[in-house]
Amino acid sequence: MRPYAYTQVRSVRQALMHAGTGTAFLAGGTTLVDLMKLEVMTPDHVVDINRLPLRGVTFDRNGLHIGALERMSDVAANRTVRQHYPMIAEALELSASAQLRNMASIGGNLLQRTRCGYFRDLSTACNKREPGSGCSALTGVNRIHAILGTSDACAATHASDLAVALVALGAEVHLAGARDTRTVLLDEFYTPPGTTPHIENVLQPRELITGISIPRSTWAAHSTYLKIRDRQSYEFALASAAVALEMDGRTIRNARIAAGGVGTKPWRLTTVEQALNGRPATADTFEAAVANAADGARPLTHNAFKPALLRRTLVRALTVLQERR
């Protein structure tokens, strides 16, 4: 690990005074410290933000608000979250080991870097790590990589389970800058790689995530998160499905669906939603609705199984959710 300056701050204003190119914010550190040890990330200045007043989980008529420094395990255990937004609790509990969930922050989870092995290996080419160097995954071992939203410069998947659930739920992320604040729809916060895969989101160098908000809805309480992976625990998704349904008897009035493990960002599946809306919640409906879920996919040598896996994952998640009623 390379030398760096270290500063603790007690306010958002102080944190932003230190922000800029070459600065990294430290919360739980479960991603940052790993990448610093590997020298994939080499900040000159680490700013510890753990004392900032960015905690709390509140629920009102507008919906749910979660502070950026809330720990994953605390949010997953929150009674309000489990009752009104079960998808969030399930996604968090499937995200990592209990020890990591006890440390990792909500804001940090949304900003975690890809688990692509080439990104973490300094001896290989990676446009995310070193723009313009190339992408070893395109012709290398790419079983875990994305099939949706990829480009000739990058095929790395987005790692966060929580972000997939939040995109399905229409969450917004709150950002604080040196001069003002802004709110961005989480689905628009992340950017596909295109020709600039090192730019992963719209966060500016002098901005900080302060919290997230999830709108109140009639369908969020009837939701689930399903994660398919090579082993049962402590593994990243090959495919995942975040599904929420508003029902009128056995008819689907409104569906909200996003997928993980298959896209370069959390992937909202509006075509599947549209195919479900107004239809009966039956196996035939589910199978027909997911038929085009992987439209536009660009499978690589070792992940050609993912379009079919995505469709099966979606059907299973829809079936599980329907059986809970």
Q: Is 23 among the domain residues?
A: no
Looking at the structure of the chain, the number of domains it has is 1
Q: What is the pLDDT of residue 315?
A: 98
Q: Is 274 among the domain residues?
A: yes
Q: What is the pLDDT of residue 111?
A: 96
Q: Is 138 among the domain residues?
A: no
Tokens 């900080």 belong to residue:
208
Q: What is the pLDDT of residue 178?
A: 86
Are the beta carbons of 166 and 156 closer than 8 angstroms?
A: no
Round to whole Å and give the CA distance between 152 and 15.
37
Q: Is 175 among the domain residues?
A: no
Longest Cα separation, the chain: 61
Per-residue pLDDT reduced to its tens digit, 170-183: 999 999 998 899 99
CATH number of domain containing 278: 3.30.390.50
Exposure string (b/e) for 288-308, b if CB count within 10 Å is 16 or more? ebbeebbeebebbeebeebbe
Q: Is 30 among the domain residues?
A: no
Q: Is 22 among the domain residues?
A: no
For residue 303, what are its two tokens?
Answer: 């992940």
* Single pTM value for the model: 0.96
Q: What is the pLDDT of residue 220?
A: 94
Q: Is 8 among the domain residues?
A: no
For residue 271, what are its two tokens?
Answer: 């075509």
Per-residue pLDDT of the chain (325 residues; tens, 9 = 90+): 899 999 999 999 999 999 888 999 999 999 999 999 999 999 999 999 999 999 999 999 999 999 999 999 999 999 999 999 999 999 999 998 889 999 999 999 999 999 999 999 999 999 999 999 999 999 999 999 999 999 999 999 999 999 999 999 999 999 999 889 999 999 999 999 999 999 999 999 889 999 999 999 988 999 999 999 998 877 899 999 999 999 999 999 999 999 999 999 999 999 999 999 999 999 999 999 999 999 999 999 999 999 999 999 999 999 999 988 7
Question: CA-CA distances (angstroms) from residue 161 to 99, 112, 226, 259?
Answer: 17, 11, 10, 9
Round to whole Å and give the CA distance between 188 and 182.
13
Domain range for 227:
223-323
Q: Is 248 among the domain residues?
A: yes
